[in-house]
Amino acid sequence: SCRTESERVLSEQVYTVPFLLASPDAEVATQDKEPEGEEEPEAEGGLEDSCVVCLSRPRECVLLGCGHICCCFRCFQALPTRLCPICRGPIDRVVPLYQA
């Protein structure tokens, strides 16, 4: 009886798996399409210019050593070690970034 119950559950799962595999693909295909006329926030300077640590303030430091421009000055000061948050390379100096 236990074996037949296991076989029944297994056969139900075999029929369920193809359905589950097919559904996300169709859903992903519709999610990839953006409505016309709408731009991503990054294109307007959203997250693309945000500090990679806090994601709220603009990037305002050039980390010399690796050259990454990735964080605001407050987050740079709060780094536990003087390693770049992107590449973990040593930070020799920090130069303020002035964007016109």
pLDDT in tens, 77-97: 999 999 999 999 999 999 998
Q: Which residue has the tokens 């009886």?
A: 1
Q: Which two tokens stand for residue 56?
A: 């709220």
CATH superfamily of 41-96: Zinc/RING finger domain, C3HC4 (zinc finger) (3.30.40.10)
List pLDDT tens digits, range 51-86: 999 999 999 999 999 999 999 999 999 999 999 999
Give the pLDDT confidence of 1-11 residue by residue, as tens digits.
666 666 665 55
CA of residue 13 relative to chain centroid, distance: 33
Question: Would you say residue 43 has pLDDT above 80?
Answer: no
Distance CA 5, CA 64 (A): 65
Q: Where are the domains of the chain?
A: 1-33, 41-96
